[in-house]
Structure 1
Amino acid sequence: MDSKKVWFVTGASKGLGLSLVKQLLDQGFKVAATSRNIDDLRRAVNSKSDSFLPLAVDLKAGASVEQSIKATIAHFGRIDVVVNNAGYGLLGSIEELSDQEARENFDVNVFGSLNVIRAVMPHLREQQSGHIFNISSIGGFTGNFPGFGIYCATKFAVEGLSESLAAEAKAFGINVTIVSPGYFRTDFLTATSIGVPSHPIDAYEAVRASQQAHQTQINGNQPGDPKKQF
């Protein structure tokens, strides 16, 4: 790949996003990376290179996202590749998760990506080139995971909008790719990256068993190596 390309990566302070940013910088790419907390991002990436632009962004706020796109173009002159990576897991049965808990997951996992897409598309269309990677999940293929119904719904949404975006953007020389990882050894299953219901219902034994397994057994023992994902 052309190392002169400019990448814009969301959710870059940990997990797959952090691994990707570090690899891109090592390979000489220019990278704008976002996180809710810019200090966490700077510490995690630990780069003083002019090729690295850390940005504090609230993906749920359109104005914050638009400003980050403008800042990236002002700094690097363009954007070539966008990676909508930011998101978090939500573990709870459909019945026990509140409307607020479900909507928050959609706000970040779906509408956060939509905010980025809406903000960056005018620039990609103008230059008649670009590539958007939307990070989905194995949960975007099947919802047969007790306790992951809402999370899977967000990833099904990501897959659907990505397929339509690919058809819409093709005429402008813009490619769209869905990435659907399985289990990788990141902090996705830690308390900072996965939500649980405020009011669990004990009757959902399969959900509670899944919750315990993911938080105490699977976490840290996932088979995938994030460094080999990209």
Structure 2
Amino acid sequence: MKNNKIIENNKVWFITGASKGFGLSLVKQLLAAGQKVAATSRYVASLVKAVGEVSDNFLPLYVNLSDEKSVAEAIQTTQNTFKSIDVVINNAGYGIGGSIEELTDEEARESFDINVFGTLNVIRAVMPFMREQKSGHIINISSIAGIAAGTGWALYAATKFAVIGLSEVLADDVRSMGIKVTVVAPGAFRTSFLTPDSLVMTKNPISEYQDVRNSHARYLQMDGNQIGDPEKAAAAMIKIADDDNPPVHLLLGEDAYSRAMTKLGVLEKEFKLNEELSKSMAYQG
């Protein structure tokens, strides 16, 4: 059944990490609305099964996001098939829990490869097409952890802070070309994020990091009981992609909003507390 109320204009969408979570909700809603969707996954058969639809509007693609060539080929295939790419949603990513000392260099780099460099690979590959058509919207999915991080999630927060930073500057860099950028910071949503499919935990816990263990336990207890509805999050992202003036930053979830506003208050207090010292750096005489 069509649901054209969620979006007014026909677009071509490119969505990473589409076989579960936000990605899957986005694909299903968009196809129901008659949109053209290229959806990527490392496991195409699982993606097709999860979507449960075969149509000319649905282009499932295998992509290894850490491989620039694989990403470029998927973008080119989408362009060849649908003749344009109007909205990119960089959704793929995973969580990683542990203190910095408890996680290996390899684990840290693998996390950045997908959560950050995968996003960069997609942006680099799609920008020539968006520049040529002088339009497009890039939506990067970060996390509230990229604004207000929690104990025990240092590397995950680092990747998500990076996504927010690169999105803010990208928005300035491409605005004059007619291209829009939004970075989305969701809170806790009832997806598979807290399951082993989407979350890597340290294999080398150190006993002194008891606060980290306690923090992880609190988060893991939320699995299946998160207050956020992923269908509503997907609908919100679709809505902003249809706006003439979409926001650069979008918080999703009451918890995300509360944590972000608390962080703003903490920053303001700390900055003002050291205002005199901060401003005393100029040469004298």
Q: TM-score, normalised by structure 2?
A: 0.79
User: SS state of the match for residue 169, structure 2?
Assistant: helix
Per-residue CA distance 1:185-209 (angstroms, 9 max, x = gap): 0000000100011211122111112
Paired residue for 2:249? none
Q: Verify: 1:222 aligned to 2:226, yes or no.
A: yes
User: SS state of the match for residue 101, structure 2?
Assistant: coil
Q: Verify: 1:47 aligned to 2:53, yes or no.
A: yes
> Counterparts of 1:196 and 1:129 in 2: how far apart (Å)?
40
Structure 1 segment 162-181 matched on structure 2, within 5 A: 162-181=167-186
> What residue ranges of structure 2 are gaps of 5+ in the alignment?
1-6, 236-285
Paired residue for 2:66? 60
* Structure 1 residue runs of 4 or more that deviate by more than 3 Å after TM superposition: none
> Counterparts of 1:13 and 1:147 in 2: how far apart (Å)?
27
User: SS state of the match for residue 179, structure 1?
Assistant: strand
- Contact between 1:3 and 1:28, CA under 8 Å: does it hold in 2? no
Between 1:89-98 and 1:54-63, the stretch displaced more is: 89-98
- Contact between 1:3 and 1:27, CA under 8 Å: does it hold in 2? no
> Counterparts of 2:36 and 2:172 in 1: how far apart (Å)?
28
- Contact between 1:42 and 1:54, CA under 8 Å: does it hold in 2? yes
Candidates 72, 91, 99, aligned match of 2:97? 91
Give how far 1:2 is off: 4.2
Per-residue CA distance 1:103-133 (angstroms, 9 max, x = gap): 1111100000000000000000000000000
Between 1:77-86 and 1:200-209, the stretch displaced more is: 200-209
User: SS state of the match for residue 31, structure 1?
Assistant: strand
> Counterparts of 1:202 and 1:223 in 2: how far apart (Å)?
32
> Counterparts of 2:180 and 2:39 in 1: how far apart (Å)?
20
Aligned residues: 228
Q: Verify: 1:21 aligned to 2:27, yes or no.
A: yes
Q: Verify: 1:205 aligned to 2:206, yes or no.
A: no
Paired residue for 1:115? 121
Q: Verify: 1:154 aligned to 2:155, yes or no.
A: no
> Counterparts of 1:44 and 1:111 in 2: how far apart (Å)?
26
| CA RMSD, Structure 1 to Structure 2 (Å) | 0.9
> Counterparts of 2:180 and 2:8 in 1: how far apart (Å)?
16
Paired residue for 1:142? 148
Candidates 81, 90, 112, aligned match of 1:75? 81
Give how far 1:3 is off: 3.9
Q: TM-score, normalised by structure 1?
A: 0.97
User: SS state of the match for residue 139, structure 2?
Assistant: strand
> Counterparts of 1:194 and 1:3 in 2: how far apart (Å)?
36
User: SS state of the match for residue 117, structure 1?
Assistant: helix
Give how far 1:214 is off: 2.3
Letter in 2 for 1:42: V
Paired residue for 1:195? 200
Give how far 1:62 is off: 0.3
Identical amino acids, percent of aligned pairs: 59
